[in-house]
Amino acid sequence: MMGRSIATRVSQAGLSVVVRDITKERTDKVAELLAADLDHEIERWGLTQSEKKAILARIEFTTELPKTSGCDLLIETINEDFAAKKQLILELDAVLAPEIPIIINTSTLSISELAQGLQHPERVLGMHFLYPVTTTRVVEVVKGQVTSDDAFEKARRFVRVLGKVPIQEFESPGFITTRVVMPLINEAAHVVMEGVASAAEVDLAIKLGYDFRYGPLEWADRIGLHRVLNWLEHLFRETGEPKFRPCPVIRKLVRAGHTGARVGKGFFTYDSERSRLDRLPDDTPKLS
């Protein structure tokens, strides 16, 4: 989902994109889902058919790593798994020209540790796109211990081309956004677990009280509760701070397979278009 969203936003900015996956079946599936995402935007009046055609015309799909050797910048968007990302970055480091930045799409992993042992570790940096990629205005651009100024500046310029604001950061567990939002989600889950209020009431209070687009629990559903759980566990291991110890409710939902909007159930229930089915009367969604 993240890879599709980034590819779409890059193409919308007028840049050509090569999307690589490991098999032809997977690239075909990505192309199909990407087109479906655009059709959904057309249904919501967010795009026109001609804009969809222009976006797709700038996106190429491949299974080969050498196909990426002519790019100006590379972003990996595989699962938040250290070993898998490390292996991929080693492969990329061997085929890409030294001046091409390798951007790790992560919200918690160490950029410096992932860059360790590469031929050109100075070209590795982090970038954290916030959900939903096509509409959020900010991207965290994260500098590792040995990231060069040149690679970092290329990444910042790229973010501006996408029409987003680059937030310059130095490596730290959770960076800014994940580190700040995880305790909010965790505490909201504790309020529900303690019976203070229902999940819907808690979310509505925070959403309306602080003018958020989503309440913290719905946002967690849309990101995926399995991801939220992984991030909390990682931050708890890295920092030892009790505020990151995952609320038991989150763990129970994940163990039950209720991981959020994508599967239709998390803290709330969702239809096949990922629209909430259990909103409170006063919780009227804003048009976007």
Domains and CATH numbers, the chain: 1-63 (no CATH), 65-175 (3.40.50.720), 179-288 (1.10.1040.10)
Instruction: Look up the pTM and report it.
Output: 0.86
Q: At 133, is the pLDDT very low, low, confident or very high (cuts 50, 70, 90)? A: confident
Distance CA 274, CA 269 (A): 9
| Range of lowest pLDDT (63-67, 170-174, 220-224, 251-255) | 63-67
Q: Which of 69-78, 190-199, 278-287 has the highest mean pLDDT?
A: 190-199
Which residues does 173 contact at the CB level (< 8 Å), separation at least 6? 108, 110, 179, 234, 235, 238, 239
| pLDDT, mean of residues 102-114 | 92
pLDDT score, position 255 = 97
Say if CB 139 and CB 167 are below 8 A apart: yes
